[in-house]
Structure 1
Amino acid sequence: FEKANPVILAVQETKIDDERLVAEQIKDKFPSDYFQYWNSCKPPIKGYAGTCIYTKIKPISARFDIGVPKHDKEGRTITLEYEKFFLVGVYVPNSGATLKWQEYRTDEWDLDFRCYVKSLEQKGKPVVIVGDMNVAHQEIDIFDPKRNENMACFTPEERQSFQ
């Protein structure tokens, strides 16, 4: 970490149920010039979802939701507003091995997240999105695309929804 010396580090799937405790426990592992932003499930679910951003540049503001309660309780987003841009760290829901969450992901989450990003763009700053999108958008993004065509993260519906 010290060798790479990132200005901003976004982490997904933190799987933390008490971000205050973890932040306190690992604060000595990171140089002191980082601001920490954590978002976990509410109420806590041990070992599930969560996001974190470490940044050397203090943002103007931090937001931990996209304004849609059914999506906001899993700790999937952190938005940091800077002078010249917005940074959105995101952990997009996975459709699941049996694709049981695919409709939720493509018909609800993706649409609502897209609306949220557009609302940020309307504020006149570029939006930088980083994180785990849980999709292999093109065949080059996955090993053996023919065999994986209907697997989670590579279904035609997920790929289309990602565009």
Structure 2
Amino acid sequence: MKFISWNVNGIRACVKKGFLDYFHEQDADFFCLQETKLQEGQIDLDLEGYQQYWNYAEKKGYSGTAIFAKKAPLSVTYGLGEEIEDLEGRVITLEYEDFYLITMYTPNAKRDLTRLGYRMLWEEAARTYIKQLEETKPVILCGDLNVAHQPTDVKNDRANIGNAGFTDEERGKFNRLLEAGYLDSFRLFYPERDDAFTWWSYMAKVRERNIGWRIDYFLVSKQLEGHVKDAAIDAHIYGSDHCPVKLELKIS
């Protein structure tokens, strides 16, 4: 079973840059998007064989998530329940017989950290929500989580200490999520790699020189560890300032 997650930084723009070629080439069972940046009716994607689930932000041209799934779920949930109001279309959860699949676009703390307080509230609500789901069955969480967990997840880690996405507070919340029983699937296969990134600034030559951050993830409940067959980063795929990340599971 193949899962793909991609912050497309505007699906309409990404479609013009080859999104559909990659989508059809991969033939994934689940294709999760973040930062779709549109409202209902602004795009019509003909994705034969897939169910489409969209969560739109109230603010036009901002945030938003989507999941394209070959198999219809048992249930669909938008947002994080009653813990925190999601007016920015940041979360979709699909329930299946053996797992929950969540796509999430975690709020950015902003360059001046003015949204760090809200980010901390979000992190607490997200962890509570995920743990409640896991009381029923395992969880697969994917998306742009807007944090580089370890120094190996940032090209220039020392220079970025304290910057949005690499603050002690954000990294600490990520640690708490892992400690609550979740695994960073990519690190199961590549625990020491320090050149594997998923986001690069649009500044000149930055991506070509691979000066990036790894902030896009597939996290899985520990119960699924034995089912994880592969995790990968498709850094060669352009179309956004992020690249797709992939997960393969063997689930009967």
Do the structures match in fold with TM over 0.5? yes
SS at match of 2:158: coil
The alpha-carbon deviation at position 152 of structure 1 amounts to 0.6
Letter in 2 for 1:65: G
The alpha-carbon deviation at position 40 of structure 1 amounts to 0.9
SS at match of 2:45: helix
Aligned with 2:67 (options 40, 50, 53): 53
- Matches of 1:4 and 1:121 in 2, distance apart? 29
Q: Which residue of 2 aligns with 1:26?
A: 44
Q: Which residue of 1 aligns with 2:115?
A: 101
- Matches of 2:24 and 2:111 in 1, distance apart? 37
Q: Which residue of 2 aligns with 1:37?
A: 53
Aligned residue pairs total 153
Alignment of 1:1-163 (within 5 A): 1-16=23-38, 18-19=39-40, 21-22=41-42, 25-28=43-46, 30=47, 32-41=48-57, 44-68=58-82, 70-106=84-120, 108-123=121-136, 125-163=137-175
Taking only aligned residues, the RMSD between alpha carbons, in angstroms, comes to 1.2
The alpha-carbon deviation at position 76 of structure 1 amounts to 0.6
- Matches of 1:122 and 1:8 in 2, distance apart? 23
- Matches of 1:68 and 1:99 in 2, distance apart? 25
TM-score (norm 2): 0.59
- Name stretches of at least 5 consecutive residues in structure 1 with no aligned partner: none
SS at match of 1:147: helix
User: Structure 1 stretches (4+) deviating beyond 4 angstroms?
Assistant: none
The alpha-carbon deviation at position 48 of structure 1 amounts to 1.1
Q: Could you tell which deviates more after superposition, 65-74 or 109-118?
A: 65-74
The alpha-carbon deviation at position 118 of structure 1 amounts to 0.8
> Does the aligned pair in 1 maintain the 2:74–2:97 contact within 8 Å?
yes
Percent identical among aligned pairs is 42
- Matches of 1:6 and 1:145 in 2, distance apart? 33
- Matches of 1:159 and 1:69 in 2, distance apart? 21
> Does the aligned pair in 2 maintain the 1:71–1:109 contact within 8 Å?
no
SS at match of 1:100: coil
- Name stretches of at least 5 consecutive residues in structure 2 with no aligned partner: 1-22, 176-252
The alpha-carbon deviation at position 162 of structure 1 amounts to 1.1
More strand by share: 2
Deviations 1:51-92 (A, max 9, x none): 000010111110002113743211110000001000011000
